[in-house]
Amino acid sequence: MGVYSNFCRSSNTLPPKPDTLYVSMNGKSPIGDAAYDLLEKFRGKFESYRDAARAGKDPEAIHQMRVNARRLRACIRAFAPVLAQPVRELEPELRWIAVSLGEVRDADVHIERMPDVAAILRELKVARLAQLRHDLGSPRYANLAEALKCRIAVAVHDDPPLASAPVVTVAPDIVGLAYRGVKRVSAVIDESSEPASIHRLRKRAKRLRYTVDCFATLYGRPGKRFVATLKELQDLLGAHQDAIVAQALCAELQGRGADAELGHYSKEAQDVAEEMRAKVPAALDELAERWLTLKERMRAMRRQLWKS
């Protein structure tokens, strides 16, 4: 078993990942207020990592800034019906900076996983970090940060009647929509699926995770068990995507003096991708079981509120 395979199979060797973000939420609060409260929470975290990410000395700062950019995007999509258009328009800009952060993050992860070519990967990271520093110091980023701060603070709702509805009456529809996105993509997934299909599923699963995290505490054990099962699926899909990225990096770095080592890592990454892909259908089945329990709890709480 090779070094790359060992890293992918042992969580102790992986770079740290954020814990599940359980948000304390009052189910009777207006959904519009809750949406803007969440956006402000994620915005504050996102911006708090900017200086450290730009310095480039702490890989975790880059990772956490990227995670909170994704949370912001997921929140904007999930709560789109009760947000103002100027807020919704910021989602593509968040994607832009998340991609720049992700380029450096990918290099950091694989420097640890492919030590025999770490020197070459560090050269690649230097170039990617230079681009990230440029992006974070650019007028484009400054405009994004200012727009996020101001537009979230205004907290305007395009649909005031919907925005005034209690969280617990709207949450089942929001979470259900995100879950159906996963189901739609996963319907064609099997052990022979192409990497692009697995990657689409991964993006949908991540969006669902960030959406359901917003409401998990409302639903007690069913909510937390669903999140835990979803995290297991995400770990499989994340390991698969990391292996695909590793193969792409190995191809990009060919010709720089370590072709034999790169070829070895590429083959190991291919094996890991196949192993992770084979486990996905069973993980999806387990998630579907957890979903039935969570869906019933969400509906029961909504009925209870209507009766009260």
> What would the pLDDT profile of 54-75 be if each residue is shown by its tens digit?
999 999 999 999 999 999 999 9
Q: What is the predicted pLDDT for the residue at 300? A: 94
* DSSP characters over the chain: --HHHHHHH-GGGSPP-PPP-PPP--TTSBHHHHHHHHHHHHHHHHHHTHHHHHHTS-HHHHHHHHHHHHHHHHHHHHTGGGS-HHHHTTHHHHHHHHHHHHHHHHHHHHHHH-GGGHHHHHHHHHHHHHHHHHHHTSHHHHHHHHHHHHHHHH---SSHHHHTSBHHHHHHHHHHHHHHHHHHHHTT--TT--HHHHHHHHHHHHHHHHHHHTTGGGGHHHHHHHHHHHHHHHHHHHHHHHHHHHHHHHHHHTTSS-HHHHHHHHHHHHHHHHHHHHHHHHHHHHHHHHHHHHHHHHHHHHHHHHH-
Q: What is the predicted pLDDT for the residue at 24? A: 61
pTM of the model: 0.87
Residue 190: how many other CB atoms lie within 10 Å: 11
Backbone angles phi, psi at 17, to 5 degrees: -115, 155
- Give the CATH fold of the 1-29+166-308 domain: CHAD domain (1.40.20)
Q: What is the predicted pLDDT for the residue at 10? A: 47
Q: Write the single-letter amino acid at 108.
A: D
Q: What is the predicted pLDDT for the residue at 205? A: 96
Q: Do domains 1-29+166-308 and 30-165 have the same CATH topology?
A: yes
pLDDT at 171 over 80: yes
Q: What is the predicted pLDDT for the residue at 69? A: 97
Q: What is the predicted pLDDT for the residue at 200? A: 96
Q: What is the predicted pLDDT for the residue at 14? A: 41
Q: What is the predicted pLDDT for the residue at 5? A: 58
What confidence tier does 25 reach under pLDDT thresholds 50, 70, 90? confident
What confidence tier does 217 reach under pLDDT thresholds 50, 70, 90? confident
Q: Write the single-letter amino acid at 286.
A: E
Mean pLDDT to the nearest integer, 22-34: 81
What confidence tier does 18 reach under pLDDT thresholds 50, 70, 90? very low
What ranges do the domains of the chain cover? 1-29+166-308, 30-165
Q: Does domain 30-165 have CATH number 1.40.20.10?
A: yes
pLDDT in tens, 186-208: 999 988 899 999 999 999 999 99
pLDDT at 17 over 50: no
